[in-house]
Structure 1
Amino acid sequence: MNHELLWVLALLLAAVTLFILNKPRMDVVALLVIVALPLTGVLEIRDTLAGFSDPSVVLIAALFVIGDGLVRTGIAYRLGDWLVATAGSSETRLLVLLMVSAAGLGSVMSSTGVVAIFIPVALGVAAKLKISPARLMMPLAFAGLISGMLTLVATAPNLVVHSELRRAGLEGFGFFSLTPVGLVVLALGVVYMLLTRHWLARPKKDAEGSAPRLTLSDLATAYRLHERERRLKVRADSPLARQALNELELRSQYGINVIAVERHQRFRNLLLMATGHTMLEPGDVLLVDLASPAIALLGAYQELGLEPLPLASSYYSLHARQLGLAEVALPPESKLPGKTIQELGFRSRYNLNVVGVRRHGKALEGVLVDEKLKASDTLLVAGEWKCIHQLQGQSRDFLVLSLPAEVDEVAPTARKAPYALLSLAVMILLMVTGWVPNVMAALIGCLLMGAFRCIDLDSAYRAIHWPTLILIVGMLPFAQALQQTGGIDIAVKGLVAVLGEAGPYAILATLFIVTALIGLFISNTATAVLMAPVAIATAQELGASPYPFAMIVALAASAAFMTPISSPVNTLVVGPGQYSFFDFVKVGVPLTLLVMVVSVLIVPLVFPL
């Protein structure tokens, strides 16, 4: 063992120790590695910086952008709604659906990108079902890792092993070569997480330590909106049809304040925010706020040609991703006290409707347009979230208070959802067919997202999780350093010398364990780079088929369950799940051993020794 290899191993040990201590941050440790490796004399600076141009790193960055595009267009939240609707109140059904969905999507695209897409979905679902995110984040990460065992293109290590087989003059794996084993591991993983989810640590931040955020329902209750909300359909014979709202004076004459309009158009349903210029059409459904529930008894509906429709729940909740509520306070320097709501002109100036007023903590009733404001009043405005955001900082006369929790799930480009799905489908098609490299497919998907305005440049740059990329870039050079210092040759000779007489099953198990252990310290792509040639050379040394040995390495490289630094997938969920290092050790080590047993038993059946 030469002194250069000793330096590399010492540096690797130091990095792992800092990762375990989590001081400094993992991405800072990776930067230290990038600086320190050239000092060993093994690698030049350009070699240590090569990770910044590595296709897998660019691919992951592009998939973060794809994931954010799916969030901004509301697709991720719709998927969450589907999970909630399908799972009902069953956490068990939810966990199964979440893991199977993540693994299925991850089988044709980067598992890191898939987990990045599903994290906001899982957080939203956890909030709706009032369960700890910790019970969903780790199963999500493990499903993302298992997805790498389902197809050839699911993860970079599979492609590394495939390329190593081709480099050795052999035929590589097919697209579905790993699928039989991967499906068994997925079923095992789902059952295992159902049994061990109770082991997962709860978030360190106690929910009782901070006040919960207001919701739309809370605001509607505080201002007594539920008593006044109605859905009214414009009949074909209605005198309101084909007229603008500002010509009808519905609010002043009838006490009917139109908030928004539901309109069916070209095989899709639209929600139009009401403005003075909104033209009403026959068949429109008006979402209105009544000055008094008694309006219907006065015959106003019949006179206006309106048909009441059932309203199962608040329309603010039904349209929470487009239609919002916000409280507006009057600061001491405001010039608005003494003016009426009609004089404020909220609808004409800000495209927002004043739907409630609270004075001394009590909601006012009756017709509000002629109500003169007082300094202590708080207004409740309704309208499009974009207009509510624009209202902040526009005037010294009012102050927008904290927004309700639903603002976190707003889809600013919801109407672009079909284009986002098209962009995703094009990317997956290019990946599956192999017409272009995976990284090119992902970049094409990003460009399509941008061209269709599903995402803008500022959002795209914010979507990239740079600490994860730096961590990967910093660990990649270790693979080349160990190769150049003879570390791989020493590993092959040692493995054959110790286990050459023990039989192929023992060697397969050992290769799995060694690959999984190395994967604790460096990226699974780098682990595959190190171990694939070791596995193939070992098989040739034993006179056995190299395919089961190579597949074991591919499977073990994806079985990075044991620590939060074993894979970027795990790193992504540490924050949302608020896990400790040993949460992964406690849950991940037994799962890794189970996957090893299953792999060693099934792989020789798929690829005979």
Structure 2
Amino acid sequence: MNPQLLLVLGLLLLAVVLFVRNRPRMDAVALLMLAALPLSGVLEVHEVLAGFAEPAVVLIATMFVVGEALVRTGIAYRLGEWLMRRAGNSEVRLLVLLMLCVAGLGSMMSSTGVVAIFIPVVLSIAARLDLAPSRLMMPLAFAGLISGMLTLVATPPNLVVHGELLRAGQPGFGFFAFTPIGLAILVLGIGYMLLTRRWLASARSREAAGEPRLTLADLVDSYRLAGRERRLCLRHDSPLAGQALDGLQLRKQHGINVIAIERRRTLGRELLAANADSELRGGDILLVDLASPAIGLLGAYRELGLEPLGLKQSYYADHARELGLVEVALPPGSRLPGKTIQELGFRSRYRLNVVGLRRGSRALEGVLVDEKLRPGDTLLVAGKWKDIHRLQGLSRDFLVLSLPAEIDEVAPAQSQAPYALLSLAVMVGLMVSGAVPNVLAALIGCLLLGAFRCIDLDSAYRAIHWPSLLLIVGMLPFAVALQKTGGIDLAVQGLLAVLGEAGPRAILAILFAVTALVGLFISNTATAVLMAPVAIACAQALGASPAPFAMTVALAASAAFMTPISSPVNTLVLGPGQYRFADFVRIGVPFTLLVLATCVLLVPWLFPF
């Protein structure tokens, strides 16, 4: 070994040790390596910084933006709701469906992009089911990696190995050549995750979760709204039809406070805020808060032309992404004490409705419009989330308290959801067809999302997880350094010396193990480039078919389960799952050994020597 190679291996070993200790942070270690490699004289500055222009890095950044756009348009949460509906309260069913969905999508598009899209979905599901995100994040990453074993176009290493076979005069692989083995590994992965998920709910995840946040259900219970909520259909012959709410005085005369209006549109129903100038129409469904549950028994419904409709749960729960609740406190020095709720004019001034009043520890009931406020009172107001956001900081006379947890699931660009799906379809179509490189397809998708106002630039910049990108950029130069110093050639020569006496299945096992180990330090695509010629040369030396050897290298290149830096997919879930380096080693190494055994058994059966 030459001195420069020893220096590179020393730096690589130091980086791995620091990653395992998790001190300092992984992205800080990556920055240290970016500085150390040019200072060592092994690489030039431009070679070290070339990772910032690496297509994979740009692709990952764009996938963060795509994922955020799907959140802002509500698509991610709808997908989460579908998973939750199918899974019910069963964590087992949820994990199975999640891994199947991710693997299926990842077999046709970038697994990194799929995982980035599903991260906010999984976080939302974990919060709703009160699960530690760590129980779902690693299964999400493993499913993304396994998706690369399902089709020819699922991951670049498959195409690299396929191209090497063609250059060697072999027929190459078909589109679904990987599928039987990939499906077997997917079933194995689902079973493995069902067994090991109990070890993923670490104490760090529970500490990170902190105290449970206030929810809409908490506010409904605290102010005793549940018994007062009603859905009322406005008949076409109702005397209220065609009139504005401001002139009807429904609250004062009938104790009926209209919170929101469901109005039929061509493509379904739209939820409208109930403002002072809102005009009622026949067929509208009014979401109302009653001063007393007995109001409907007094003939008011009949008199006003209203028909009660069923209400299975709180309408705040049904419309949680559009309709919200927030507490407003009267701080010392407020000019509002002494005024009645009617005089506050919340509906006309702020487009919000006062639905509750807490005095001390007691929530007042009955008609509140004429109730005079006192210092220390807390109001509960209801309305559209965008109006609640606007309320913050508007007045020195009241203080908006902490927002409910549902604010995280608000979709500010929900009306743009069809355009987001169109943009996503264009991106996926370009990736599957191969008409343009994946990174260009992702950039086109992001530009379309911006043009359709599914996401703005500020949100796009905030969506990118910069520590993950720095980690990847910091490790990429090691591949160049190992090539320049002869480390790769030395490893290949040693491998060929070891393989000389081994039988075909033993050679497959060694090829898989070496490919997986090399993939810990360099990208899986670079690993496939290096190992595919070695595999084919081994087959030719044995007088055997190159197909099983090449297939083993391709599968091993995707088996990056052992560390959080062995694949961008793992790096993506590192933060949301609150994992440490050792967590991936503890779960990933045994699974990699299981995948190795599966490949040694199945590959020669499907691709005979």
**Deviation for aligned residue 1:562:** 1.6
Show CA shifts across 1:510-531 (max 9, x none). Answer: 1111121222333434433443
Paired residues of 2:22 and 2:580 also in contact (CA < 8 A): no
SS of residue paired to 1:286: strand
Cα 1:210–1:50 shift into 2, 3 Å: closer
Show CA shifts across 1:326-369 (max 9, x none). Answer: 00001112111111111211112211111111111111112211
Q: Distance in 2 between matches of 1:395 and 1:38?
A: 56
Paired residues of 1:201 and 1:579 also in contact (CA < 8 A): no
- 1:8 corresponds to which residue? 8
Q: Is the counterpart of residue 237 in structure 1 residue 234 in structure 2? A: no
**Deviation for aligned residue 1:171:** 5.8
Q: Is the counterpart of residue 499 in structure 1 residue 495 in structure 2? A: no
Return the letter of the residue paired with 2:51: G
- 1:473 corresponds to which residue? 473
Return the letter of the residue paired with 2:457: L
Q: Distance in 2 between matches of 1:210 and 1:474?
A: 32
**Deviation for aligned residue 1:88:** 1.2
- 1:400 corresponds to which residue? 400
Q: Matches of residues 566-581 of structure 1 in structure 2 within 5 Å?
A: 566-581=566-581
Cα 1:100–1:19 shift into 2, 3 Å: same
Q: Distance in 1 between matches of 2:522 and 2:15?
A: 10
Report how many aligned residue pairs link the two structures: 609
TM-score, normalised relative to structure 1: 0.95
Q: Is the counterpart of residue 362 in structure 1 residue 350 in structure 2? A: no
- 1:265 corresponds to which residue? 265
Return the letter of the residue paired with 2:580: S
Return the letter of the residue paired with 2:282: P
Paired residues of 1:565 and 1:571 also in contact (CA < 8 A): yes
- 1:111 corresponds to which residue? 111
Cα 1:218–1:578 shift into 2, 3 Å: same
Cα 1:171–1:583 shift into 2, 3 Å: same
Q: Distance in 1 between matches of 2:15 and 2:284?
A: 63
Q: Distance in 2 between matches of 1:546 and 1:33?
A: 38
Show CA shifts across 1:143-179 (max 9, x none). Answer: 1111121223333433444455566676654433322
- 2:531 corresponds to which residue? 531
- 1:278 corresponds to which residue? 278
- 2:429 corresponds to which residue? 429
Q: Which moved more, 1:77-86 or 1:150-159?
A: 150-159
Q: Distance in 2 between matches of 1:543 and 1:38?
A: 45
- 2:19 corresponds to which residue? 19
Q: Distance in 1 between matches of 2:288 and 2:66?
A: 37
**Deviation for aligned residue 1:113:** 2.3
Q: Which moved more, 1:124-133 or 1:306-315?
A: 124-133
- 1:416 corresponds to which residue? 416
Q: Which moved more, 1:307-316 or 1:422-431?
A: 422-431
Q: Distance in 1 between matches of 2:371 and 2:79?
A: 44
Q: Is the counterpart of residue 124 in structure 1 residue 117 in structure 2? A: no
Q: Is the counterpart of residue 551 in structure 1 residue 560 in structure 2? A: no
Paired residues of 1:475 and 1:523 also in contact (CA < 8 A): no
Q: Distance in 1 between matches of 2:209 and 2:577?
A: 18
Q: Which moved more, 1:33-42 or 1:307-316?
A: 33-42
**Deviation for aligned residue 1:443:** 0.9
- 1:253 corresponds to which residue? 253
Cα 1:233–1:339 shift into 2, 3 Å: same
Q: Is the counterpart of residue 385 in structure 1 residue 402 in structure 2? A: no
SS of residue paired to 1:521: coil
Q: Distance in 2 between matches of 1:167 and 1:466?
A: 39
Show CA shifts across 1:387-446 (max 9, x none). Answer: 111111111111111111111111111121111111111111111111111111111111
Show CA shifts across 1:257-295 (max 9, x none). Answer: 111111221132211111122222221110001122222
Q: Identity of aligned pairs, percent? A: 73
Cα 1:533–1:594 shift into 2, 3 Å: same
Q: Distance in 2 between matches of 1:443 and 1:175?
A: 26
TM-score, normalised relative to structure 2: 0.95
Return the letter of the residue paired with 1:290: L
Paired residues of 1:141 and 1:573 also in contact (CA < 8 A): yes
Paired residues of 1:450 and 1:456 also in contact (CA < 8 A): yes
- 1:53 corresponds to which residue? 53
**Deviation for aligned residue 1:593:** 0.6
Q: Distance in 2 between matches of 1:465 and 1:160?
A: 29
SS of residue paired to 1:335: coil
Q: Distance in 2 between matches of 1:83 and 1:407?
A: 21
- 1:514 corresponds to which residue? 514
SS of residue paired to 2:227: coil
Q: Matches of residues 75-474 of structure 1 in structure 2 within 5 Å?
A: 75-165=75-165, 173-204=173-204, 206=206, 210-474=210-474
Q: Distance in 2 between matches of 1:407 and 1:497?
A: 61
Paired residues of 1:234 and 1:286 also in contact (CA < 8 A): yes
**Deviation for aligned residue 1:95:** 1.0
Return the letter of the residue paired with 1:283: G
SS of residue paired to 2:194: helix
Alpha carbon RMSD of aligned pairs, Å?
A: 2.1
SS of residue paired to 1:576: coil
Paired residues of 1:201 and 1:583 also in contact (CA < 8 A): no
Q: Which moved more, 1:40-49 or 1:76-85?
A: 40-49
SS of residue paired to 2:381: strand
Q: Distance in 1 between matches of 2:94 and 2:311?
A: 28
Q: Distance in 1 between matches of 2:479 and 2:265?
A: 57
Q: Distance in 2 between matches of 1:510 and 1:66?
A: 39
Paired residues of 2:132 and 2:205 also in contact (CA < 8 A): no
Return the letter of the residue paired with 2:103: A
Contiguous gaps of at least 5 residues in structure 1:
none
Q: Is the counterpart of residue 62 in structure 1 residue 62 in structure 2? A: yes
Q: Distance in 1 between matches of 2:368 and 2:412?
A: 31
**Deviation for aligned residue 1:101:** 0.9
Q: Distance in 1 between matches of 2:160 and 2:50?
A: 17
Return the letter of the residue paired with 1:216: L
- 1:596 corresponds to which residue? 596
Paired residues of 2:8 and 2:481 also in contact (CA < 8 A): yes
Paired residues of 1:291 and 1:367 also in contact (CA < 8 A): yes
Q: Which moved more, 1:434-443 or 1:160-169?
A: 160-169
SS of residue paired to 1:270: strand
Show CA shifts across 1:215-252 (max 9, x none). Answer: 11110111111121100001121122222222322222
Q: Which moved more, 1:58-67 or 1:7-16?
A: 7-16
Return the letter of the residue paired with 2:63: L
Paired residues of 1:330 and 1:336 also in contact (CA < 8 A): yes
Cα 1:172–1:394 shift into 2, 3 Å: farther
